[in-house]
Amino acid sequence: MRKAILLLSTYFSVCLFVTGQNAVFEVTSKISVSKTDSFDYASNHLDSLNYLIDKNLRDSLEKVTFKNDFSTSSLENFFGEKGLVNAWRVCIADDSLRKMAMVLRKTAAFLNRNPSRFNYLKNEINGDTNYKNIVFLKRTWWADSLRFNFDSLGNSSSFKTFGINPSDLKKSIIEDMKTEAAAPQFVESIVISGSSIPKKIVANSGYTLYKIIPKGNAGPSLFTPFWAKIDEIRTYIDLDLEQKFGLPIISHSAKYDVYKIVLKEGKTALVFESEVAQTTENEYKTTGGAIQSLVLDRSKWTSPELVKDLEIFPSSIK
């Protein structure tokens, strides 16, 4: 085996055929490699394969599987595109996806921007039992693309709602909301999150409301007033959930955890229901339309609790 310091400029053409898929991915590219790393390169396919394994893989199962997957397939893309081996590792539990060029490229792009999400992604694919991994990955790429294009700082600084004007409401409604609110100075800004006149609901102890949070993220803050009934959330799971609830881009996700709050024993509270207003965030828009439940004094309610057996996994991408 030759050992050398390499200065290579090599043209490759590769056709990657995907078993069970009606597609052929054809790629023609030029790779210029200048390395001080020494290894046995493409004059021998096996040398290249062993190099990739030794450099990137530690787990024995991964090594064997990678060698089986690519023993007769082109390795060009693994040398030319950052992160493809890690993308393959994420998909290792899915015999089909881990061999698809498009899947590896898009997953690598996601991991390059979100390296801390490697374990989350891998665990989700490992844990799938409903053959919905491709839906999960597509929604992951979609949510990441939205953040990259419309909220790259991840702070929702340009998020705006186009709801009802508080001055158009009866004075009694605003007064009821301010009487209930722990922070009455914020009532007007909460009102404009809805497009309809808030409907007053008298809630008694045990009344329960819910909120969706991107899976794996920290739970709701102690002060957020924006909640919903569980039936309202379920109604829109596969009907443009993010659109109907007017979610900020930072809150878009492939899957969602569900948290609940319960009105404490011996307490009564006023809950105000309104239709979620349309929103914009840079050039990204949501339609609104779901019914939200506004909780104005969280001290009357229990702390948010994760509902472990209730996960929201939409199948749609708007």
Per-position pLDDT tens, the chain of length 318: 333 333 333 333 333 333 333 333 333 333 333 333 444 445 688 899 999 999 999 999 999 999 999 998 888 889 888 899 999 999 999 999 999 999 999 999 999 999 999 999 999 999 876 679 999 999 999 999 999 999 999 999 999 999 999 999 999 999 999 999 999 999 999 999 999 999 999 999 999 999 999 999 999 999 999 999 999 999 999 999 999 999 999 999 999 999 999 999 999 999 999 999 999 999 999 999 999 999 999 999 999 999 999 999 998 776
Express the helix, strand and coil content of the chain in percent, nearest 5 each. 35, 25, 35
CA separation for the pair 116, 114 (Å, rounded):
6
For residue 44, CA distances in Å to 41, 64, 71, 136 come to 6, 19, 12, 37
Please report the pLDDT score of residue 214 as a whole number. Answer: 97
Vertex 218 angle, CA 119 and 130, to 5°: 50
Q: Are 276 and 194 in contact (CB under 8 A)?
A: yes
pTM: 0.82
CA separation for the pair 79, 300 (Å, rounded):
58
- Nearest by Cα to 73 from 33, 15, 29, 25: 15
Residue 223 is given by DSSP the state S
For residue 16, CA distances in Å to 41, 97, 99, 100 come to 20, 13, 9, 8
Structure tokens at 287: 């339609």
Q: Are 281 and 150 in contact (CB under 8 A)?
A: yes
Q: Per-residue pLDDT tens for 35-84?
A: 334 444 456 888 999 999 999 999 999 999 999 999 988 888 898 888 99
Return the bridge partners of 262, or none.
Answer: 208
Please provide residue 8's backbone torsions phi and psi, each rounded to the nearest 5 degrees. -120, 145
Cα 80 to chain centroid distance, Å, stands at 27
- Positive or negative: CA dihedral 127, 130, 133, 136: negative
Please report the pLDDT score of residue 12 as a whole number. Answer: 31
Q: At what angle do helices 101-113 and 118-126 cross, to 10 degrees?
A: 140
- Nearest by Cα to 161 from 290, 273, 248, 274: 248
Residue 81 is given by DSSP the state S
Please report the pLDDT score of residue 9 as a whole number. Answer: 34
Which residue reads 């705006």 in tokens?
A: 160
CA separation for the pair 224, 14 (Å, rounded):
52
CA separation for the pair 213, 260 (Å, rounded):
11
- Nearest by Cα to 136 from 99, 94, 85, 82: 94
